[in-house]
Amino acid sequence: MRRYIFVPHLLPAISGFEAERLLSLLLSGSKGVHSVSLNVGRLNAEVRVEGDHVVLPGGHVLDEERLRKMIRHKDSVFIIEGRETYRVEVRNGRRYYKLWAPITGRAPTLEISGVHMHRIVEVDPWTDSLMKVNLARVRAGARVLDVCTGLGYTAIASRLRGARYVLTIEKDENVLKIAKANPWSRRLADPQVDIILGDAVEVLPGLPSGSFHVIVHDPPRLSLAGELYSLEFYRELYRVLRRRGILFHYTGNPGGKYRRLNIAKGVAQRLRAVGFKVAYAREALGVIGFK
Ligand SMILES: C[S@@+](CC[C@H](N)C(=O)[O-])C[C@H]1O[C@@H](n2cnc3c(N)ncnc32)[C@H](O)[C@@H]1O
């Protein structure tokens, strides 16, 4: 395990949907300056249509052929660097990671080998993360432990709610590589956010008791990360939380309503067993623990 220095890419990022809009401007022949959404909805910018290409802020030039290539993968995200276009994805052995932007203008999610890491039905990934930190009642001055960094949305949302400090833990460096290319993750580069690259199961025993006001626990589904739902892990969560501290534990909805109830119920039982008082947060598919 080690501290991870997060340096975001600051190059333009364009979703396939945004590329489609640029192409329609280009094909309409309306030369001149146009206001468009770039950076997967994070930036309203002015682009210039000139002859057979579009000029982005920073002078990056996109012609019809490049835009058409991007549109083939409408819900993907591309980084534009001079003449090069990179799709935001990582292949590592049998695992495939990609930044996936299925909802136009909304924060993308991370997809790992076909499993997306945020809710995208009924709620977008960013709103989902805001709900989690609201339910965890992150307040001004709080020290927050964010278990499972992912794209950093819950860590960033905690800071936006006024947390003084966030310690966030991510096991998989490929995930952080994807986050670096995501315009919605840029605020992870924050001196008040420490990122530990390591397994939360190994990191927690090294943290002092009672050192956090709030814990946001946002693990992958139970079938993919059972250790993060175990009694032993919950004991550690309880130990590092201060008295009167609050835990929000996302439990998710794998396999529909019936299974969700059982998973949340099992989580609640084990949280109670280690000392938490528990309430269900059904709207956010989670369980809240009070110490
Ligand atoms: C649902 S995502 C977290 C989403 C994140 N909170 C956000 O706001 O974007 C779950 C993440 O947990 C990571 N993970 C899985 N097992 C882990 C472990 N044992 N320790 C730390 N991170 C882990 C995965 O790599 C994945 O990035």
Q: Which domains does the chain have, with CATH numbers?
A: 13-87 (no CATH), 118-290 (3.40.50.150)
State yes or no: pLDDT of 253 exceeds 80.
Answer: no
* pLDDT confidence band for 174 (50 / 70 / 90): very high
Reduce the DSSP state of residue 170 to 3 states and report it.
Answer: strand
What are the pocket residues of ligand 1 if the criterion is a CB atom closer than 6 Å to any ligand atom?
117, 129, 148-154, 169-172, 175, 199-201, 218-220, 225, 228
pLDDT of 141 higher than 60: yes
CA dihedral sign, ordered 266, 268, 271, 275: negative
Mean per-residue pLDDT over the chain, rounded:
93
CA gap 238, 166 in Å, rounded:
17
The arithmetic mean of pLDDT across residues 203-211, rounded, is 98
Q: If you measure from the C-alpha of residue 78 to the centroid of ligand 1, how many angstroms do you get, rounded to a whole number?
A: 23
Report which ligand 1 atom has the smallest distance to the Cα of 155: 8
Answer yes or no: is pLDDT of 39 > 90.
yes
Report whether pLDDT(166) > 90. Answer: yes
Cα(21) to centroid(ligand 1), Å: 33
- pLDDT > 90: percent of the chain: 81
Which amino acid residue places its CA nearest to atom 3 of ligand 1?
150
Is the CA virtual torsion 235, 236, 238, 243 positive or negative? positive
Give the pLDDT band (50/70/90) at residue 105.
confident
Structure tokens at 122: 């009924």
Who has greater pLDDT, 28 or 235?
235
pLDDT of residue 119: 87
Assign 257 a pLDDT band (cuts: 50, 70, 90): low
Indicate which atom in ligand 1 lies nearest the CA of residue 150. Answer: 27
Gap from CA of 168 to ligand 1 centroid (Å): 10
This prediction's pTM:
0.94
In whole angstroms, what is the distance from residue 233 CA to residue 229 CA?
7
Give how far Cα 173 sits from Cα of 6, 191, 195, Å.
Answer: 11, 19, 11
